[in-house]
Chain A
Amino acid sequence: DAKTTQPNSMESNEEEPVHLPCNHSTISGTDYIHWYRQLPSQGPEYVIHGLTSNVNNRMASLAIAEDRKSSTLILHRATLRDAAVYYCILRDYRTNAGKSTFGDGTTLTVKP
């Protein structure tokens, strides 16, 4: 399975934008890029996903490099509630979701 690399931790100030990077140099053409986050004492929750084009939803934006070997999750205005572990995952749409691994993720700390 294609793997992802994320920084262990990042810090941000409240109400400032946050850019969370993810490297996936061995991504295949059938891999979608998914982001999940896990708030303290909760199960992971879906944030956003994309294939080639940049994507926006109410939670975040996903910027995907032209060669698809990296992507960036953008939180436009971080709040204290955004403090969580963020996981970047590759999912081959031809295979089932359980086969993708979550990795260690990036722990985001938001300072007031």
Chain B
Amino acid sequence: DSGVTQTPKHLITATGQRVTLRCSPRSGDLSVYWYQQSLDQGLQFLIQYYNGEERAKGNILERFSAQQFPDLHSELNLSSLELGDSALYFCASSVVSEGSYNEQFFGPGTRLTVL
């Protein structure tokens, strides 16, 4: 158990819909990362927040957005869902954002299926 929790574990929805994925980082971790893992694309970095502020952006679509709240939990919002958005979505957390030792702890993931 990494200490990072993600809800829900599974999500099935239809095209065009909007969903919210939630992540609670490890106690004391200020940085939260979101990743998408699909069969054909591997693990893709989407976005990172550090202490409530956006720190880095990866290959995140405009239909996707995220935020980190004052209690440090984070939500990833996916809208106008398409079949290709079906994937595993992982959240990771770390104590800091940069530095020589920046181990990331990953949650168990949310499996999103878009029908």
* List of B residues within 8 angstroms of A36 by Cβ: 104
Q: CA–CA, A51 to B105, complex, Å?
A: 20
In the bound complex, do residue A45 and residue B98 qualify as a contact, i.e. CB atoms below 8 Å apart? no
By DSSP majority rule, is chain A's interface helix, strand, loop, or mixed?
A: loop
* A97-B94 contact given A32-B100, A45-B2, A49-B101, CB 8 Å threshold: yes
Size bracket, chain B contacts = 20 to 34
Q: How far is the CB of B100 from chain A (nearest CB, A)?
A: 4
Q: Which of B14-22, B42-50, B73-81 contacts A (4 or more CB under 8 A)?
A: B42-50
In the bound complex, do residue B104 and residue A46 qualify as a contact, i.e. CB atoms below 8 Å apart? yes
Size bracket, chain A contacts = 20 to 34
* List of B residues within 8 angstroms of A98 by Cβ: 33, 45, 47-48, 55-56, 58
B108 contacts the other chain (CB 8 A): yes
Which residue of the partner chain, among B43, B56, B94, contacts A99 with CB atoms under 8 Å?
A: B56
In the bound complex, do residue B2 and residue A97 qualify as a contact, i.e. CB atoms below 8 Å apart? no
* List of A residues within 8 angstroms of B72 by Cβ: none
In the bound complex, do residue A97 and residue B33 qualify as a contact, i.e. CB atoms below 8 Å apart? yes
Interface flags, B36-54, vs A, CB<8A=1, else 0: 0000001101011010000
In the bound complex, do residue B45 and residue A101 qualify as a contact, i.e. CB atoms below 8 Å apart? yes
* List of A residues within 8 angstroms of B56 by Cβ: 96, 98-99
Q: CA–CA, A33 to B48, complex, Å?
A: 21
Q: How far is the CB of A93 from chain B (nearest CB, A)?
A: 4
In the bound complex, do residue A93 and residue B99 qualify as a contact, i.e. CB atoms below 8 Å apart? yes
B87 contacts the other chain (CB 8 A): no
Q: CA–CA, A112 to B6, complex, Å?
A: 34
Known: A91-B102, A96-B98, A97-B98. 6 other contacts (CB 8 A): A42-B109, A45-B2, A87-B43, A96-B31, A96-B50, A99-B45
3 closest A-B pairs (Cβ-Cβ)?
A: A43-B106, A98-B48, A102-B43
